[in-house]
Amino acid sequence: MTKNIGGGFVGKAGPIDPAKVRNVLIIRPNHRLGNQLLMTPLVQEMADTFPNAKIDLFAGKIAPILFQNYTSVDRIIHIPRKPFKDLFSYLNAWGQIRTKKYDFVVNVDKNSSSGRLATSFARSKYKLHGEDFAEIKYPDYQHIAKNPVYNLRYVLSQLGITSVKEMPCLDLKLSTKELEHGKQLLLSLVEDQVKPVISLYTFATGAKCYSKDWWLAFYEELKVRFSDYSIVEILPVENVSMIDFKAPSLYSKDVREMAAVMANTAVYIGADCGIMHLASAAPTPTFGFFSVTNPLYYAPYNKGSKAFVTNGLENEKIFQALEKLLHKHA
């Protein structure tokens, strides 16, 4: 019923003065960790383009934790995970995006019916519903984090604002205090506190999860080939290990704490999942394994990061790339 609501870009013709844009709304009503983290490049782009603007987010429940160090973010309107169990909060969230007048509204995901509906429902001079523009020819245009930034840049170029800046990476904006806490926590997990550390995350949901046999073989070879590194496993909230807890492990339900630990490691290795994007946002070089999902949409892309489609790929290729990365950063 809602899939065709809203379309393209709605706004006044003529140039726009970025200094006069004061209120911005970014819409991503989704509760997945990865999807919320993939919104961070757009938030950075908005803050950079409109330096006087206060940014509101219509987002998932975890957003206040992820964006707590974003000074440009003024208000986070989060919807409950189960709307019909908390109908008052759900309706109140929708009411909040209607009561405020915005200068610019951007829907992050063009495939989100609720996102398109919220964009249409909000009051604003300019609305970007999230459709792709045929004129945009960048090879990485399909990436979930980059796509809304490219779309925004294209629309703004029609309004007299152009940008040639590098694409923003995922960023959790960890504080110095958080990073130091992560360092001390990491040191408490390893015997040799001089060796650099490789962090592993061996879990993923559904078909994205690799088997125990695959991970155990990978881990044993990793230990041998990179014996001058310590290995630490980051555990999921389910507290399971696909390498049977053979490595020292961190169990934490605090995603910022997890990210701070990973930020102090030389590289993060794991399958495509929300924690992969958390490592990328830490930021730390991230090796992401893809067997089901498409890396064109979800690959980590911060400095040193690399996506591997593992179907038919020999682990040797991964180890060679890891050797090159670690040698470069030694």
Within this chain, do residues 105 and 187 fall inside the same structural domain, yes or no? no
Within this chain, do residues 113 and 30 fall inside the same structural domain, yes or no? yes
Within this chain, do residues 217 and 293 fall inside the same structural domain, yes or no? yes
pLDDT the model gives residue 6: 56
Which residue type sits at 138? Y
pLDDT tens, position by position, 214-272: 999 999 999 999 999 999 999 999 999 999 999 999 999 999 999 999 999 999 999 99
pLDDT the model gives residue 4: 53
Cα 283 to Cα 323: distance, rounded to the nearest angstrom: 19
HEC secondary structure over 252-270:
CCCHHHHHHHHHCCCEEEE
pLDDT the model gives residue 1: 46
Within a domain: 131: yes
Within a domain: 171: no
Q: Of 158, 188, 223, at which residue does a domain stop? A: 158
Which of the residues in the chain have pLDDT under 50? 1-2
Is residue 288 within 8 Å of residue 299, measured between CB atoms? Answer: yes
Within this chain, do residues 206 and 234 fall inside the same structural domain, yes or no? yes
Within a domain: 165: no
Cα atoms found within 13 Å of the Cα of residue 170, Cβ hemisphere only: 32
If one counts the domains in the chain, the total is 2
What order do you get walking across the sheet with 123-128 strand by strand?
Answer: 9-10, 123-128, 101-107, 23-28, 54-59, 73-78
Length of the chain equals: 330
Residue 142 belongs to domain spanning: 9-158
Within a domain: 79: yes
Cα 263 to Cα 329: distance, rounded to the nearest angstrom: 14
Within this chain, do residues 181 and 324 fall inside the same structural domain, yes or no? yes
pLDDT tens, position by position, 195-220: 999 999 999 999 999 999 999 999 99
Q: Of 129, 158, 187, at which residue does a domain stop? A: 158
Within this chain, do residues 127 and 210 fall inside the same structural domain, yes or no? no
Cα 249 to Cα 180: distance, rounded to the nearest angstrom: 18
Within a domain: 169: no
Within a domain: 219: yes
Within a domain: 34: yes
Within this chain, do residues 29 and 143 fall inside the same structural domain, yes or no? yes
Cα 89 to Cα 83: distance, rounded to the nearest angstrom: 8
Is residue 76 within 8 Å of residue 64, measured between CB atoms? Answer: yes
pLDDT the model gives residue 86: 84
Please name the residue that has the structure tokens 């009561």.
99
Residue 221 Cα distances to 73, 166, 247, angstroms: 44, 37, 13
Within this chain, do residues 184 and 294 fall inside the same structural domain, yes or no? yes
Cα 12 to Cα 159: distance, rounded to the nearest angstrom: 9
pLDDT the model gives residue 329: 58
Is residue 272 within 8 Å of residue 289, measured between CB atoms? Answer: yes
Strands 306-309, 286-290: pairing kind: parallel
3-state helix, strand and coil shares in percent for the chain, rounded to the nearest 5: 40, 20, 45
Within this chain, do residues 324 and 202 fall inside the same structural domain, yes or no? yes
Within this chain, do residues 284 and 247 fall inside the same structural domain, yes or no? yes
Within a domain: 106: yes
CATH number for the domain spanning 184: value is: 3.40.50.2000
Within this chain, do residues 148 and 180 fall inside the same structural domain, yes or no? no
User: Would the CA dihedral through 188, 192, 193, 196 be positive or negative?
Assistant: negative
Within this chain, do residues 124 and 250 fall inside the same structural domain, yes or no? no
Q: Of 109, 129, 158, at which residue does a domain stop? A: 158
